[in-house]
Chain A
Amino acid sequence: MIRSLDIRDGFTRSLRRIAIVTACVGFLCALMPIEAAAQRRFSRTYPASQNVRLQLLNRTGTVTVEGWNRNEVSISAYLEAPAANIEPQSLSGTIYINLVKDNQGRAEVGSVNFVIRVPFTSSVDIETKMGNLSVTNVRGGLVRAHITTEGDITLTNIGSTAVSAQNGIGDIFFDGTIQPGGNYRFFSINGTISLRIPQSSSFKLVATAPSTRNISLGTFLGENMRYVSDGRRVAGTSGDGTATLSVTNQRGNIQFIRR
């Protein structure tokens, strides 16, 4: 009798578990279409010359820019609810996207996540209030990535002569070449700045990390590099020193990696 009661209890418990699991799965399945429906997609393609310039000002969201071997600019954006207005403009060799202006006065605007493809030789100037920025395979005249508050900046395979990366809280990673006579600036309030450049690079360096005093030059530490101000700054030259490299991290570390 006791045994039959145990079996019945066990069966009831199993049924209850199955019911709970089924309900959870059902709830998640019900949520998924809502999530998918909340995202809108924006897509547009522009014919472009080799030296086209992309100028993007985003509010929040990620931005990924990739260089490709086509004379056109492809813009794809995933808009979270409430969906932002996007009105790109193509004027005299520059493609402008300004989400701050396009959504001025709106109380709430959802994040916009961009994936943009541009010709290899384009200039890229992207800015966002919050969110990660990534630029890959670009060797135009300028690459500028600026995050007003939080977000990581990843610049990979960059061959531009003018590069500027700046954020508030977040890491900056640069992987590219230092062009002779070029100008490179990296600035962060709090995060790690990592620069991966060829050993043969020629530049004049001023690197400052006043809070952590953690500036790791790796194989770039040579006779012409010296630590000043109690190790808070490194100044010197590598090679002929034709390019200018300025790295400032207010409350984080700086590291150089050989490419």
Chain B
Amino acid sequence: MNCEGCQENLSLFLDGELEETQAANIRTHLSLCAECAKLCEDFASILDSCKLEELADEAPALNTNALWCRISNTIEAEIKPEPKLESEPEPRGIFSRVWNLSFSQAAAGVAGIALISSLLTVVGIRNYFQPAADDFTSRSGDTQTTFEKLLSKVGLTDTPNAARQKRLMEQQAAIDYWNQRVQARRAMWDDNLRRGFDRNLQAIDQAVFEYKQTLEQNPEDELSGEMLDSVMNEKMNLLREFSEL
């Protein structure tokens, strides 16, 4: 085969469309002729680059398919129930679907709920008959309900005395605050107002002293507790109002 014949069939050779005998002749010529071999290499590289561009054009289509495939898989995975592990034992008992409780645990739970309900009912009935005016801060231990006593014993609530002390401390803190403001302003008042204020404060302090003394002797004295609370509030209001003048 000469060079002319080889170059005419070179394209068909590269596409693999020649008969085997013709292709063998071209291969022999290419191994002998450097010029035709170079031309063949150029053609081959052009064809390769064309094939790569075709693949690149086809890539989005391939990615879209892959994307849809992944979406479909995700949806299927969410819809499908979790496969059960064979090693996990099948739950049993009346609360088997919610809690894994044995019969004895369930029975103990029911008994506990019944006990709490009974206690709440008793407390509700007792409180219903209790006078509404009773304030916990001014109540004595005598008027505490059994449930309240129980709660205070275990430290969940304050005893009436502890609650009273706590409230007194809060009131005293407020009184100290307003008193500071009053002391800063009282120099501006006229004598008449200052004297009236002092007399009134003295009367309140006397009452506070008396109630505290009574409560020291009898901490259970409900009325003194209530009156002490009331008179402390009065002191607080007196100081607050005069701090504005």
Chain B interface residue count, CB cutoff 8 Å, equals 29
Bound state CA distance, A111 and B192, in angstroms? 10
Tell me if B238 and A229 are in contact (CB < 8 A).
Answer: no
Tell me if A189 and B207 are in contact (CB < 8 A).
Answer: yes
Q: Choose the segment among A87-95, A116-124, A205-213 that binds chain B (4+ C-beta atoms closer than 8 Å).
A: A205-213
Bound state CA distance, A148 and B192, in angstroms? 14
Decide if A130 is an interface residue (CB 8 Å cutoff).
yes
Bound state CA distance, A19 and B237, in angstroms? 56
A residues less than 8 Å from B196 (CB atoms): 129-130, 149-150
If the complex has contacts A130-B196, A150-B196, A250-B227, are A190 and B245 also in contact, measured as CB distance less than 8 A? no
Decide if B241 is an interface residue (CB 8 Å cutoff).
yes
Partner among B197, B223, B241 whose Cβ is within 8 Å of the Cβ of A208: B223
Tell me if A148 and B199 are in contact (CB < 8 A).
Answer: no
B residues less than 8 Å from A107 (CB atoms): 188
Decide if A168 is an interface residue (CB 8 Å cutoff).
yes
Q: How far is the CB of B184 from chain A (nearest CB, A)?
A: 13
Within 8 A of A (CB), among B217-245: 221-224, 227, 230-231, 234, 237-238, 241-242, 244-245
A residues less than 8 Å from B183 (CB atoms): none
Partner among A130, A232, A251 whose Cβ is within 8 Å of the Cβ of B206: A251
A residues less than 8 Å from B206 (CB atoms): 251
Residues of B within 8 A of A (CB): 133, 188, 190, 192-193, 196-197, 199-200, 203-204, 206-207, 210-211, 221-224, 227, 230-231, 234, 237-238, 241-242, 244-245
> 11 A–B contact pairs at CB < 8 A?
A100-B245, A148-B241, A150-B199, A150-B200, A168-B203, A189-B200, A189-B207, A189-B231, A189-B234, A208-B223, A250-B207
